[in-house]
Amino acid sequence: MTKIKANGIEIEYELSGPANGPPLMLIMGYSSQMTSWPDEFHEAFANAGFRVIRFDNRDTGLGHKHHGILPDMRAAAKAMAEGQRPDVPYTLNDMADDGAALLDALGIQSAHVAGASMGGMIAQLMAIRHPAKVRSLISLMSTTSDPSLPRSDPKAQEALMSKPAAEDKDAVADHAVKTRLVIGSPGFPEDQAKVRARFAANYDRSYFPEGAIRQWTAIMATPPRTEQLKKLNVRALVIHGDADILIHPDAGRHTAALIPNARLEIIKGWGHNMPIAAVPTIAGHMIDFMREVERDRAEAFARPVTPGCCGRT
């Protein structure tokens, strides 16, 4: 893993897979480090020939930290309700610009862009704000943030907003496991010891709960993408679980319905996590979709240019 300067901040990132493979950027969700992706997940894409780009969103992991800037959540919500610009250090728009700038810094012209949960929101905004950088959009267990969509199950909200009993590693890891049991996947049971070990390892890498406050206000301060998604001209795949109680499956259906010609996959028994048992199904849909996009790109580039087209005679 290494750092690079992009969009005015330092971004911690990691590359895997063949250097000449089609690029795939993976964007993690709320308060989660890039190491939260199961190894089996990003390895599936590397083994399938894709060049995988993972990175820490700002305020998580080893990425840029906005130390000491604590926005007022209530004031931000009030400003949004009144149609005013909230006083927050950044929004999801800035985080989408981070992803695009990282691709530029790495010399990558375009990539398949996939994001989970908040990362899916960021991926959508990358496609909206930087369409030339996005070969395809893959939105995983995410939402358009449209206010008409069903709210989270109260149990999921409570689990997400609760705090660990203490700040030591054992307490934080125990709390994370409990949260995951609430919002996780009934159809894909997990080895809880392995889950806990991953959370403990992430704690050792970087425990920074202050950043979660700013990421939450970034979500709050970013308007819904409903109208913008209708205008997208990008190949899109939306994957959601029918057992997701944090972001209702209707949010995935809504996303796919808005984006012209988007493909929707609803996975039975999948909740709001990335269990190893679900990786073959989720990654399989993604790999098939990206390979199809790559085939179509190759055919388009190979097609002879019509005389008089595109400035040619």
Q: Is the pLDDT of residue 54 over 60?
A: yes
Residue 15 DSSP symbol: E
* Angstrom distance (rounded) from CA 174 to CA 203: 12
The string of pLDDT tens digits covering residues 110-136 is 999 999 999 999 999 999 999 999 999
**Is residue 135 within 8 Å of residue 247, measured between CB atoms?**
no
Please report the pLDDT score of residue 74 as a whole number. Answer: 83
- Please say whether the dihedral angle defined by the alpha carbons of residues 157, 163, 169 and 171, taken in this order, is positive or negative: negative
The string of pLDDT tens digits covering residues 169-215 is 999 999 999 999 999 999 999 999 999 999 999 999 999 999 999 99
Please report the pLDDT score of residue 306 as a whole number. Answer: 62
Please report the pLDDT score of residue 309 as a whole number. Answer: 58
Please report the pLDDT score of residue 313 as a whole number. Answer: 35
Strand partners, 236: 137
Share of the chain above pLDDT 70, in %: 97
Q: Give the pLDDT band (50/70/90) at residue 167.
A: very high
Say whether domain 2-153+209-311 belongs to CATH 2.30.110.10: no
Please report the pLDDT score of residue 81 as a whole number. Answer: 82
